[in-house]
Structure 1
Amino acid sequence: MGSETLNPGDPAVGVQEKGGSSSDSQDVDPGPKSEVPSDTEAAAINGDAPQKTKKSLAFHLSFIAITFLSFLFSLDATTQAVALPVIAEQLHGTTLQSFWANIGYLLCVVVTLPLYTAVSDVFGRKPTLYFGIFLFALGSLVFAIAQNMVTVVVGRVLQGIGGGGMDLMSEIIVADMTTLQERSLYLGLLAIPTAIGSILGPTLGALFTANVSWRWIGWINLPILGVSLFLIVVFLRLRPIDSSIASKLKRVDWGGSFLSLAGITLFVVPLSWANSLYPWRAWETLVPLLIGAALVFAFMMYEFKVPKQPIFPLRLFHSRTVHLTLLGNFAYGASLYSVLQYLPLFYQAVTLRTAIGAAVTLLPTSIVSVVFAVGGVIMVGVLGKGYVWAIIMYWVILTVGSGLLGLLGENSSASMLLGLPILWSSAIGALMRLLHLPLQASVSSVDDTGLVIGLLLVVRLLGGVVGLAMSSSIFNSVFEASTRHLDLMGPLAPLRDASQAVSFIPQLLNVNLPPETLDPVLQAYATAMRAIFYTMTGFSGVGLLTALFTQDVSLKRTELGRQRFEN
């Protein structure tokens, strides 16, 4: 650990959007300024980049440890859904327990991100990261040894709480370790494990479940976490925050943390079960949804007026680019999580592939997503001509690609099944990190980078929850309308309840029915999923509109984050 302590008076270097009006930045609080800037900061102010220094071995080993954590977080977000039917069957789980086991991970990530953001800015990145790693490891162990569905749910909840901290701290630490000028490279590299984890998740979940045991979904995390923790403890040396525990406790925005935790929980939980466990009009959906919305509004009012160090201070929202980029991230989250959920199910339900067969069919899509997740953001850094043009281009591709997914059907050729999703995946991969750049470049003080990353991830995951809720509602409504005239008897009787249609998909392979009976059911699945793809096309169109009115902010800033890496 380095001996230099954090100086709360580190200067903030202001930025202004190219071509933007003065109103775009007039509300910016530039923060405290020291009288004499350091050499690095002076170079940044004068527009001259300082001489690049070679990264140390400790820096690279620390970065590798962070990539492992990003991989595990994204892997666990997608592995368990494939194995859930088998888990529920073996442990005699109810529909309600299966629901919470499936959605609990993402919900816990969403609701705890604001709290992690507030705590890490006061107590430091490493203690907060350690807490997330501990909970994620504990949750993985609980999941692996579970003997009933209640224990599975508890394990997933612990993994979600810990995984949210791991993911957020990984991105914030990378931002602290790098300058804005070089960050596009490291964001691109960090996208590799994130994309690979998201894509490999369903395949690994299916392989473990079919060939070993679903419990390995939890066991596999522990040795990787051990290696990552060792590297972080030994090599990750961040500038410490020098103040007493009592002082730190007073600085945490506890009121805002409680309001955000309660408000987001009550808002997203009914969204996740609407039209799945309970109808949209049921009091079980409407009452918590309205209370949650009221608490979220109260949180925003509280943040702007009460705390001295709010979780998301008003100065973060100083420009049109910030507002538009947040809206774009919301649309991105809706498209990402919804299509990732339903595209593999499309291949299983409509083309009657196994879970592994669907993963193999989507392998080209997966590879392209990883390549563009890395190449998209690195290309911006190499060309050095701003990033808005790239964001616009990929939003266009995502909009077109989402619409083309609607052409898939039960009679689609192999080339269509393999090729059409590639366009969508190239754009979704590139935008994964490109949408970070406008927000990180827009902060008036480098010390606010961690806050703005937390804000981005909260908005993106909220978009994911809303997108999944809308997709579930659309799927159930369209599937029910498409099967209303069908005579669903015998093995197809469970499909009379549209909410059981997704869980019934694995059984379609074993239904021994003539084509004239089964084909209309497969067409109903295709029609319902097309409706989801077309809805996500609309979300992508909203994202494109936000990009058209976004302005470039210079990336030529060289100051390091508030807890910079120390050799």
Structure 2
Amino acid sequence: MQKRVPGTSTNPRASQWQSRFASLSRSIYCGPPSLLRGCGTTMRLVSKFHSDSDSLSEVDLTPADQEEEVVTHYHGNHSDNIEEKTVDPPGLEESGPEKAHIQRGVLIAEAGRTLWTRNQLIVAYITIWIIEFIGAFSQGMTSTLTPYVTSSFQEHSLTATTSILSGLIGGLITLPYAKVLDIWGRPQAYALMVICETVGLIMMAGCNNVKTYCAAQIFYYIGTNGITFTHMIFIADTTSLKNRCFFIAFTSSPTIATTWAYGPATEAVLNHIGYRWGFGIWAIIVPLTCAPLFSMFYWNQIRAYREGIVHKVPSGRNIWQSLVYYGIEFDVIGLTILSAGLALFLLAFSLYSYQADQWRSPLIICFIIFGALLVVAFCWYERYIAPVTFVPWTLMKNRTVFFTFVMCASMYCAFSLWYSYFYSMLIVVFNTSVTVATYINNIYGVGSCFWAVVQGLAILYNGRIKWHVFLFGLPLSILGVGLMIYFRQPDQDVGYLAMCMIFIAFGYGTIVMCEQMTVMAVSSHKNIPAILAMEMMIGSIGGSIGSTIAAALWTGVFPERLAKYLPADAPIAEIYGSIEVQSSYPVGSDIRNGINRAYGDAQRLMVITAVCLYIIGWIATLFWEDIDIRKMKLKKGIIF
């Protein structure tokens, strides 16, 4: 995340608004000006690009009233092994304590390349694999249980809606979380995410309505996204770029095993202890499995203090001043505006069918108008007012980064479109058991994780990642989803759907790995947390938009087709609201056949829309730089 200096913008309107906000910040802050300067309100990060390669290049951190460089401050005998050096500007010594506080997480992470031994790193990677195994198992069960939770409240049609807010906020929070990692450090931030996931699981176990379940999913996905993001940053800190793809794939490989386990486990939970304990058991297991990695992070932080690499310096702030400081650093105002705007706008498309006047409903009209206005207000606030921007805009000026994000948004949007009601279709239309439906539904998870490992090995021999995606990953995904237009119908055999899922899985295994490697290859190491956070945020927003479109198509098409295909005396409202009611009618009966036809009509529209989005992503890939990551330079220190 970059900082802008109030009063230093070349745009006079920006300078005017930033100066006003800076004055307001000082009046609220109630602290000495020296500490306020340390908070970043007089410092900005200026980034530019080499014209010959479009690659990102960091330049000086320039204070408003000084022309000296301020970078990370190291002490002790380990400084020779770390790439950055100290250049303290005269006249800013008073900002040193605050500077040290801001850089603490970065300092400890960089020091980790000398503090971690190779054996410790091996243990850490094994621990991460175990945590990811538990995470994949729990996520598989929770996602499978979601239709049964919504159906228990007669709200099965809200299945996709429950994932809109959780996916949206879970993605948006990644950028501020990257800042938390830098300011607080790995162990503190990691513990916060474990707590969030545990709270979400407890709320799921105790929910009594869909609203509470949606809120629980927000906590849960904030936690899971944060934990996974921390693992990814740790891998980026300790591996070379050409090997990084393999290690990221390695930590994702538990999905290959968990897919075969959580299907029968979910069925056993539903048949014996109920879905509430299906969530409750993970609220106990998750924190226990995350504790060892937290301990390793915390132990190395203590070592960094003991060996003098990082010094504990009091911030000099009281509680109120700290709240203001963190509010500015995390851009709470910008995050709130964007979250509210996107949530209102996207929810309108999934909730309109519940209003008597549908699109003409005053509530839906207000959601759309105010949601759009808040998104515009966010852009204006970030451009003219925010002293610390929520989005690292300068990083997006690189064409490879920009078009990678375009591909990422279209890909995740398309995936959520065709995937949202896929499990329900397997249960109802193809009359599969929970276990079989889970196996088919998760061919994607198994296949993509398996192929990601293969892809990681392939990159060791051919590092030109652009062509892996353009010639193999996206064409195979388009083929798989395109075939679903024909095979995702009631009169087809379910085996053809399994074939399509295999194509999609291998395509995604290539796309996801290369997408992450691409943005890291054109970014400096210091920018990797921000660029990966941005990538995860855009993917989550794209997924939320896809879920929104899926919910809009479902609520607009499915009930209308039920009314068209079902007998006049059929309980349409009950059928529409519950997957269990839908699957309770005998196979071959008029009602079951009508339900299946309604499913087929709605699913066809979802899949066609998804194919169009995949083609947009395929075109965007053409604009990537042709980078060979095997030629990238290695960092100093202990890495794989």
Please give the TM-score of this superposition, normalised by the length of structure 2. Answer: 0.72
Shift in alpha-carbon separation, 1:123–1:357, aligned structure 2, 3 A: same
Residue 141 (1) aligns with residue 207 (2): no
Structure 1 SS opposite 2:420 = helix
Task: Give 1:141's aligned amino acid.
Answer: I
C-alpha displacement at 1:505, in angstroms? 2.9
Write the mapping of 1:250-261 to structure 2, written as runs, cut at 5 A.
250=325, 253-254=328-329, 256-261=331-336
2:416 corresponds in structure 1 to 337
Separation in structure 1 between the aligned mates of residue 393 and residue 256 of structure 2, nearest angstrom = 32
Match of 1:548 in 2: 622
Contact 2:144 2:438 in 1 (8 A): no
Contact 1:110 1:461 in 2 (8 A): yes
1:479 corresponds to which residue?
558
- Report Cα offsets for 1:502-541 as digits up to 9, x if no partner: x433223321485344323312211211211111111111
Q: Deviations over 1:336-387 (max 9, x none)?
A: 333332222221222122332312344655432221132223322x114310
Structure 1 residues 361 and 151, CA gap change in structure 2 (3 angstroms) = closer
Aligned counterpart in structure 1 of residue 632 of structure 2, from 553, 557, 561 = 557
> 1:164 is aligned with what amino acid?
N
Give the alignment partner of residue 273 of structure 2, picking from 212, 220, 228. Answer: 212
Aligned pair in 2 of structure 1 residues 82, 365: CA closer, same or farther (>3 Å)? closer
State which structure, 1 or 2, has the greater radius of gyration over its C-alpha atoms: 2
Q: Which moved more, 1:386-395 or 1:278-287?
A: 278-287
| Aligned amino acid, residue 324 of structure 1 | F
Tell whether the 8 Å contact from 1:77 to 1:106 is kept in structure 2 after alignment.
no
The answer for the alignment partner of 1:428 in structure 2 is: 508
Aligned with 2:541 (options 462, 471, 478):
462
Name the counterpart of 2:110: none
CA 385–290 in structure 1, closer or farther in 2 if over 3 Å, else same: same
Evaluate the alpha carbon distance shift between residue 100 and residue 394 of structure 1 in structure 2; reply closer, same or farther with a 3 A threshold: closer
Corresponding residue to 1:246 among 296, 309, 315: 315
Matched AA of 1:274? F
Shift in alpha-carbon separation, 1:399–1:281, aligned structure 2, 3 A? farther
Could you tell me which residue of structure 2 aligns to residue 267 of structure 1? 342
Quick one: which of 400, 421, 429 aligns to 2:479? 400
Measured in 2, the distance between the counterparts of 1:319 and 1:88 equals 43
2:247 corresponds to 1:186: yes
How far did 1:186 drift? 1.3
Higher mean C-alpha deviation, range 242-251 or range 102-111: 242-251
CA distance in 2, matches of 1:13, 1:192: 36
| 1:45-65: CA deviation from partner (whole Å, max 9, x where unpaired) | xxxxxxx99962211222233
Q: In structure 1, how many angstroms separate the alpha carbons of the residues matched to 2:511 and 2:466?
A: 11
CA contact (8 A) 2:338 2:375 kept: yes
Which of 38, 48, 59 in structure 2 is aligned with 1:30? 59
**Does the alignment pair 1:536 with 2:610?**
yes
Task: Give the 3 Å change call, closer, same or farther, for CA 196–334 of structure 1 in structure 2.
Answer: farther
CA distance in 2, matches of 1:166, 1:287: 36
* Distance 1:14-1:226 versus aligned 2 partners, 3 A rule: farther
The one-character-per-residue Cα deviations of 1:457-506 (angstroms, maximum 9, x if unpaired) are 000000000001111112333334534433444454227xxxx63x4332
Which secondary structure does the structure 1 equivalent of 2:564 belong to?
coil
Which runs of structure 2 are paired with 1:147-158 in the superposition (5 Å)?
152-158=213-219
- What TM-score do you get using the length of structure 1 for normalisation? 0.81
Instruction: Give the 3-state SS of the residue equivalent to 1:436 in structure 2.
Output: helix
Indicate how the Cα distance of structure 1 residues 263 and 76 shifts in structure 2: closer, same or farther if over 3 A, else same: farther
Residue matched to 1:391:
469
Return the offset for 1:322.
Answer: 0.9
Question: Equivalents in 1 of 2:136, 2:418: separation in Å?
Answer: 15
For the 8 Å contact 1:330–1:463, the answer to whether it is kept is: yes
Q: How do residues 103-142 of structure 1 correspond to structure 2 at under 5 angstroms? A: 103=164, 105-142=166-203
Read off the aligned partner of 1:166 and give its amino acid letter: I
Deviation for aligned residue 1:416 = 1.6
Over 3 Å counting, the alpha-carbon distance change for 1:153 and 1:413 in structure 2 is closer
Residues 129, 165 of structure 1: 8 Å contact kept? yes
Task: Give distance in 2, aligned partners of 1:205 and 1:186.
Answer: 30
User: Cα distance, 1:77 vs. partner?
Assistant: 4.6
Classify the secondary structure of the residue corresponding to 1:30: strand
The CA RMSD over aligned residues, in Å, is 4.0
Q: Of 448, 462, 474, which residue of structure 1 is paired with 2:527?
A: 448
Kept in 1, the 8 Å contact 2:473–2:509? The answer is no
8 A contact 1:122–1:251 mirrored in 2: no
Counterpart of 2:593 in structure 1: which amino acid? D
Q: 1:186 to 1:284 in 2, by over 3 A?
A: farther
Where do 1:82-101 residues align within 5 Å? Answer: 82-84=144-146, 86-87=148-149
- State how 1:35-114 maps to structure 2 within 5 Å: 56-84=118-146, 86-87=148-149, 103=164, 105-114=166-175
Q: Is the 8 A contact 1:77 1:198 kept in 2?
A: no
More displaced stretch, 92-101 vs 279-288: 92-101
Distance 2:210 2:614 in 1: 37
The 1:165–1:255 alpha-carbon spacing in structure 2 relative to 1, beyond 3 Å, is closer
Inter-CA distance 390–315: structure 2 relative to 1 (3 Å threshold) = same
Matched, 1:227 2:289: yes
Q: Gaps spanning 5+ residues in structure 1: where?
A: 1-7, 43-51
Deviation (angstroms), 1:174: 2.0
- Rounded Cα–Cα distance in structure 2 between residues aligned with 1:134 and 1:38: 37
1:274-302 deviation digits (Å, cap 9, x = unpaired): 23345455443443444344444444444
Residue of structure 2 in register with 1:45 after alignment: none
Q: 3-state SS of the aligned residue for 1:312?
A: coil
Residue identity opposite 1:169 in structure 2: T
